[in-house]
């Protein structure tokens, strides 16, 4: 999954974010079973492709999508902290993104509203709706892979049990 290698136009748009030291810290943080960096690139690239197809502002979509989860809290937190983070991390991501980059209003909106309707910030732009939608689809895929791996042994035991019965 190296979207920058496949698509030089995309690579150019996100180049300064990809080179940012703070942003690269996301490579070390687990998120939905992969790194927060990989999750962010995936959301950014698919959102960029959809925005391009719809003749929308694909450059801002690529950047806003890439920064939507730019917060540096680690995954090894308590269940309560993770629950609270579901609601507050867009504000944290916006704060970190503002510290590191100059953002447009649209990019800010993509970050702020990506968890809608879980948080009440309604997306103001079509591009923000795209990032929010793609984030959900990507998250479902990542979670399903994470839990399939986590319960691999349980699957095997159930499978052996069923095979034992069939015999
Ligand atoms: Fe998020
Ligand atoms: Fe996300």
Q: What is the pLDDT of residues 46-68, one digit of tens each?
A: 999 999 999 999 999 999 999 99
- Write down the pLDDT at residue 151: 63
Output the pTM of the full model: 0.85
- 158 CA from centroid of ligand 2 (Å): 33
Rg (CA), the chain: 18
Helix (H, G, I), strand (E, B) or coil at 115: coil
- 90 CA from centroid of ligand 1 (Å): 6
**Per the omega criterion (within 30 degrees of 0), is the bond before 117 cis?**
yes
User: Among residues 65, 62, 121, 64, which one has the least CA distance to residue 91?
Assistant: 121
Whole-angstrom Cα distance, residue 47 to residue 54? 11
Report domain extents, the chain: 3-166
- 157 CA from centroid of ligand 2 (Å): 33
- 28 CA from centroid of ligand 1 (Å): 16
CATH no., domain 3-166: 1.10.3210.10
Helix (H, G, I), strand (E, B) or coil at 90: helix
Q: 134: burial class by Cβ within 10 Å (0-12, 13-18, 19+)?
A: buried
Residue 2 gets which letter from DSSP? -
- 167 CA from centroid of ligand 2 (Å): 46
- 151 CA from centroid of ligand 1 (Å): 24
- 114 CA from centroid of ligand 1 (Å): 7
Low-confidence spans in the chain with pLDDT less than 70:
1, 4, 75-76, 149-156, 158-159, 162-167
- 39 CA from centroid of ligand 2 (Å): 7
Q: Which residues contact 90 (CB under 8 A, 6 or more apart)?
A: 68, 111, 112, 113, 114, 115, 119, 121
């Amino acid at each position: 999954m190296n979207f920058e290698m496949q698509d030089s136009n995309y690579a150019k748009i996100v180049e300064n974010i990809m080179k940012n030291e703070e942003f690269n810290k996301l490579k070390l943080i687990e998120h939905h079973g992969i790194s927060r960096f990989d999750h962010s690139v995936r959301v950014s690239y698919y959102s960029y492709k959809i925005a391009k197809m719809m003749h929308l502002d694909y450059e801002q979509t690529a950047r806003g999508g890439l920064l939507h989860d730019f917060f540096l809290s680690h995954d090894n937190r308590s269940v309560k902290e993770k629950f609270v983070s579901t609601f507050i991390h867009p504000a944290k991501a916006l704060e970190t993104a503002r510290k590191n980059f100059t953002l447009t209003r649209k990019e800010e909106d993509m970050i702020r509203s990506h968890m809608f309707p879980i948080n009440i910030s309604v997306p103001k732009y079509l591009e923000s709706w795209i990032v929010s939608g793609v984030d959900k689809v990507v998250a479902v895929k990542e979670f399903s892979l994470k839990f399939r791996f986590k319960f691999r042994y349980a699957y095997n035991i159930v499978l052996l049990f069923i095979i034992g019965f069939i015999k």
